[in-house]
Chain A
Amino acid sequence: MLLPVRPPAHIVPSYSLTGDLLSFTKCRLQYRFYQGTALPPARPVQRWFGDFVHGVLENAYRQWQTSEPRPPFPWPATEPHWRDGLPDGTPPHDIGSLGWPVETALRLQGKRARNRAIRANAYGRVEAAVNMLGPILFPLISAAEERVIGTRMVIGDTTNLRANRYEVHGTIDVVTDVELAAVPADNLIRRLVEEQVPNLPEHFELIVDYKGQRRPRSGAASGYLRQYERQVQTYAWLRRQQPDALPVAAGVLIYINELLPGVQDMRLLRRHVEQGTEDVPPPRNSRDDLSIRNWIAGNDPGTALSDEYRLRRAIQVVPVTPESVAEATDWFDTVVRDIEERVRAEQEAGDVEQTWGPNCRDPQTCAACDFRYFCPGRARGDADDEAAALEEDIGD
């Protein structure tokens, strides 16, 4: 009897845009161990701030949406006691009431703030986010935490691969439904979008993604900015697959740290403004410009800058065009092809570390990686300001 060959499982693989594809592009070996062998990261604290921000902003929107009448901004903020929580009678729209259930759930998943100062800072930042973004963003929202999913072809010859298609999915933090006529002309989001996207249609969507970090500079070695842009472009493609979608005019990345900058943020900002390398510089000789140039450690970074300038730094508009979407999705196609080939190669060769050799060139990522102890490709950098501010930078 001639035995037939048992074919590999025929499975259309399902990739998370952030959890899989962006992770793989950061480092192949880290992706293989975290996503393939499912090793849980030692310091989920790295994810704490990002998860906290997303959870609180979602709660805030739900509270705003379901309250009748809607409580006016600014909403009060009570920082919960670390063990006892909030005093009785704290209103449901208090930032503490929105944050405490998120914080509790995260703690029980092993995710917690590294120390009291970081926790207080996080509450401060979500307070700023709710009270600065809420008035201009919440009225535009049509869906929060919108799960999107689509299928694409695996490029190239797929004879020896698991399937010729793959699924890609993600969760869009916020989808807005914008009718220009219904949005006040002084709405900053509207103004920023109009500045970046000429010939806006009358009725369109924006895809909003919160980032629990500072705004990365363009051209930074890590290339995060480019990845985030591709992420929202691909969200736009995924959103377009949904039958109820409107045209997507732009993606809006919101860097939460910029709403309440910390000491490290101010130090870096001053350096970049002085060097002329800042992407969003304040107008020359404006109050913000002077505040930055004259900023010294010991000043309160939270009050140094104007609301308008902080919002402008926090909000990055990424115009969405058919070409930009195609560029991003094509790029992710090549990433998937790479992963699928390695899946196949591992099945043939059985060697994990050879097949998924590390390729990370970002010292920050390597410094926080659990596999840094044995990784032959560990990138090392100077322990400069950015590396020291690791916690503030890592988010989703």
Chain B
Amino acid sequence: MLTVDRFLELVPVVMTPVGAPPRPLNDEQRDCVGLQTGEPLMIVAGPGSGKTAVLVLRALRHLLVDGFLPEEVVVTTFTRKAADEIRTRLLEWGRAFLDLLVNEDNPALQAFLGQVDLNRFVTGTLDSLSQNVMGERRRSGEVPPNVIEGFAANQILKFRGGLNRGVRDIDAGRVNLYFDTFSPRRNRYNRNAKDLVKAAREVIDRMTHDLVDTASFGAAEPFADVRQMLCNVREQYYTYLRQSGRYDFALLELEFLQRLLDGEMDASVVRWRALLVDEYQDTNALQEAIYFGICQRAQIAFTVVGDDDQSLYRFRGATVELFREFVARAEQALQVRPQIRWLHRNYRSTGDIVGFYNGFVACDAEFQAARVAGKPPVTAEFGGEPFPILGMFRPTRDDLARDLAGFLFDVFRTDGGYTSLNNADIVVRRSDTGDFGDSVLLAHRASETNTSGDPRLPLLLRRELSARGVEVFNPRGESIETVPIARELLGLMLEALDPASANWPNGQLCADLQRADPANGVYPAFGRDVAAEFAAWRATARTVDQTQVVGGRRLSDVVRGWSVAELMGGGEDAGGYTGRDRPLSDLFFQLISYLPTLRTRSENQVYMEAIARSVAEAAAYSRYQAQIVREQFDESRSAAIRDVLVPIAQGELTLDEDTVPNVPRSVFPIMTIHQSKGLEFPLTIVDVASDFRTNHHLQKMFRFPEAASNTAMLESQIDPHTPIRGLRTARSDLHRTFEDLVRLYYVAYSRPQRVLLLVGLLPCINGRTNIKSVPLHWRFDSSWPWENAGNTIADVPFEVI
């Protein structure tokens, strides 16, 4: 095999594209790659410090120095995209190594390389790893595990897990009161169906992620009856899923852990010799147990990489404290003390940007106790020209949107770029082939309207850019059921299944579904909120030209064809089938023929996929499997409305933006900060204060929390019943809430490569403002270092444009 020194000598050649000067590793990176494999290794890696490169090189080191075959090396990360990136580098750099070594005079090495197939590196998310290994090692007669996602999983929870019935049996008011213990309502009304399932889902997933002792949790007061009901629903839901070979993500990992500990996975796991985990800061207790369980069953070199300051997913069960305390926890579980190393040299951003976020994360002494002890500040290695942090603050959102659109248009659509009126030295311009895709607007929330329905910055900016001929990509901007083009489709579907008539202006089947007769066990399938949404859909659908003809058929005929039993059945449009039932999906595909922009615009494709998926997945839980059956015509149409359209109207659809593989570069992207994790942009605009005109108490949770978040409260409620008890609650609920907000904006501020532009409303940066805001560096003790900052913030030049 190669020596570590020889391996490191070859690294710059391997990593460098042909024709470019070699890029040597820095000392810390060399150390992380070269360190012996005897003890677990924890790498704390700041933003832009080359952590993925180090992780990949360490995996290749296991191959070429330690002599592990690719199939013995497992690399996991947090998202499919990140997994693709890691795999790409493993294949490319691995191939480059093999090409370089082909003439190496080392017979043992050559013999080993003859067995190497780089494609057999095991890479993916922990979910995909669990799914693959469980499929490989499945029990006799078992089918490979099938993963279901949010929408379908929630419907199964309601209908098959017995959540709806459980809530009714106890009394919805009491269940609401229990959920109030960690998720207070803003009004006196009971939660709607969407919020109810959301709250139940939060508790049920948390039980799994935190490996909760359900007997203890279910018996605990107050609300032991509700807790027990949730435990029972979870049990029933999991039983139903297991019996059908389906798993949601939490159950998949739980099942994998149980089978791992039972030794059922040994045939796969014991052959592994290296486990490298990326993004470890977002690990939960269940995942930690899996990783430690693998290490305990296999003699394995264990490396974790992460950055506590970039932990974003507490609301999904991530526990940054597991990363912060990794050394002690791994030592206790594995009986060997891990080594810790730091990567702090940043190659992504200008020195001013690095200085800015260093200052941000260091400005509050309270926050330092929440970080990994001994962490060095990030240092900037990018040697480009200095450029100040920019700020654009305006009196109103309209002003802000107008000027921001003007700025973007100048940068990307005028030859000279943008020049500040205040300072002619401030010029921002694109490269020759630059376009809007080189920039991004990041915001805590990307929604386009606030709870009162007033437009937020993303919507105003969309309008301003649209007026200039520029398209925006922000599929999370609106709830899908309220997007006009989606409403057209959903309204046409509803009209097809249950047409409005003079006698039944909201449809006869819908009227029946709303009927309530509790004495006879009949409960309404939906309430006034859904009825109002349905009415809006129908109204929007009526704006679609019903006379248009596609493929020889008029839209009005297609719609009518689904509401008359005699028109059902075979024919050419049924794909050659002669059966008497038709899938609801067929209606979907017929209708999108009449809505061409739904198929072609980037954002609309996301909506289209979400609706199509919800229709298809209904086969898993709906009585008629989302088929319209001629013999049970009314019943099957009612089931389709109740099981598919009602949940969509309740806002339960989830989006998967990966369904648009290629957003055109001429489109301006707007993202939540969460979505931007792992990405970098030449120009990053961060919305720090466009919502905050006054010190409104309802906005405090988004800028300066003075009360604990729902997640933190639930963590504390669960704490006595989990094996990680005391770990999170060592810091108060409010501290954890506050610190999560710091981490969120730390991620936002570390995305830009060249230009960081903060945008917001003027009152927030007024020297005497009382609008406290974490993204503007307010500290936990309510002090504010910007108060007298002038043109520098955290010793970094700051220029208002």
Contacts and interface: CB of A to CB of B under 8 A. Distances in A.
Interface of B: 81, 84-85, 87-88, 91-92, 95, 114-120, 140-143, 146, 244-246, 385, 387, 411, 427-431, 433-434, 437-439, 550-551, 553, 572-573, 575-577, 579, 583, 585-586, 588-590, 592-593, 596, 599-600, 602, 605, 608-609, 612-613, 616-617, 619-620, 625-626, 656, 659-667, 680-683, 753-755
B619 A109 contact: yes
13 contacts: A1-B427, A3-B411, A4-B438, A11-B85, A12-B92, A101-B143, A110-B616, A243-B115, A347-B664, A370-B585, A372-B575, A373-B550, A390-B577
A127 B147 CA distance: 30
A66 to B, nearest CB: 7
Contacts of A180: none
Nearest to A168: B119
Interface stretch (A39-47, A208-216, A320-328, A330-338): A39-47
A33 B661 CA distance: 11
A222 interface: no
A352 B577 CA distance: 29
A390 B574 CA distance: 12
A241 B605 CA distance: 38
A39 B609 contact: yes
Interface in A1-30: 1-6, 9-12, 14
A3 B439 CA distance: 9
Nearest to B618: A110
A98 B385 CA distance: 69
Most buried by B among A10, A39, A92: A39
Interface stretch (A55-63, A223-231, A251-259, A278-286): A55-63
B608 A6 contact: no
A11 B84 contact: yes
Interface string A141-152: 000000001110
A343 interface: yes
Given A109-B620, A350-B664, A163 B576 contact: no
A388 interface: yes
B608 A350 contact: no
B385 A104 contact: no
Contacts of A62: 140
Contacts of A5: 431, 433-434, 438, 682
Interface string A231-275: 000000000011100000000000000000000000000000000
A387 interface: yes
Given A346-B662, A347-B662, A110 B438 contact: no
Contacts of A368: 575-576
Given A3-B428, A10-B88, A11-B84, A387 B246 contact: no
A190 B114 CA distance: 31
Contacts of A388: 576
Contact of A101 (B142, B588, B620): B142
B619 A37 contact: no
Interface of A: 1-6, 9-12, 14, 33, 36-44, 55, 59, 62-63, 66, 92, 97-98, 101-102, 104-105, 107-110, 112, 114-115, 149-151, 163, 165, 167, 169, 241-243, 343, 346-353, 367-368, 370-374, 378, 383, 387-388, 390-391
A25 to B, nearest CB: 19
B423 to A, nearest CB: 13
Contacts of B91: 12, 151, 165, 167
A277 B352 CA distance: 77
Contacts of B612: 39-40
Contact of B625 (A1, A92, A112): A112
A108 B92 CA distance: 40
Contact of A3 (B115, B599, B754): B754
Contacts of B754: 1-4
B583 A242 contact: no
Given A43-B575, A368-B575, A6 B140 contact: no
A149 B119 contact: yes
Contacts, number: 205
B682 A350 contact: no
Nearest to B661: A36
B589 A373 contact: yes
A105 B118 contact: no
Contacts of A98: 141
Given A11-B84, A42-B589, 9 more contacts: A2-B429, A5-B434, A14-B87, A39-B609, A108-B246, A112-B625, A149-B120, A368-B575, A374-B592
Contacts of A150: 119
A42 B434 contact: no
Contact of B95 (A165, A347, A378): A165
A299 to B, nearest CB: 23
Contact of A390 (B575, B619, B656, B662): B575
Contact of A59 (B141, B617, B683): B141
A38 B613 contact: yes
B114 A243 contact: yes
A383 B585 CA distance: 24
A4 B680 CA distance: 12
A343 B84 contact: no
Contact of A373 (B118, B146, B551): B551
B576 A390 contact: yes
A3 B754 CA distance: 7
Contacts of B246: 108
Contacts of A383: 572, 576
A178 to B, nearest CB: 23
B235 to A, nearest CB: 19
Contact of B579 (A115, A371, A372): A115
A95 B421 CA distance: 80
A-B complex: 4 closest residue pairs judged by Cβ atoms? A110-B619, A42-B585, A350-B664, A40-B616
A336 B680 CA distance: 28
B551 A367 contact: no
A378 B602 CA distance: 24
Contact of B245 (A42, A105, A110, A371): A105
Contact of B88 (A163, A351, A387): A163
A151 B600 contact: no
Given A108-B245, A109-B619, A373-B589, A387 B605 contact: no
Most buried by B among A3, A14, A241: A3
A1 B755 contact: yes
Nearest to B662: A347
B155 to A, nearest CB: 13
Contacts of B593: 373-374
Most buried by A among B245, B681, B754: B245
A6 B577 contact: no
Contacts of B613: 38, 40
A343 B385 CA distance: 35
B609 A350 contact: no
B245 to A, nearest CB: 5
B605 A37 contact: yes
Most buried by A among B576, B579, B596, B609: B576
A3 B683 contact: yes
Contacts of A105: 143, 146, 244-245
A3 B662 contact: no
Most buried by B among A11, A108, A242, A349: A108
Most buried by B among A112, A370, A387: A370
Contacts of A374: 550-551, 592-593, 596, 599
Contacts of A378: 551
B438 A6 contact: yes
A102 B143 contact: yes
A373 B590 contact: yes
Contacts of B605: 37, 352
Contacts of A36: 659, 661
Contact of A151 (B95, B433, B667): B95
A350 B665 CA distance: 9
Given A37-B609, A114-B577, A343 B662 contact: yes
Contacts of A109: 146, 619-620
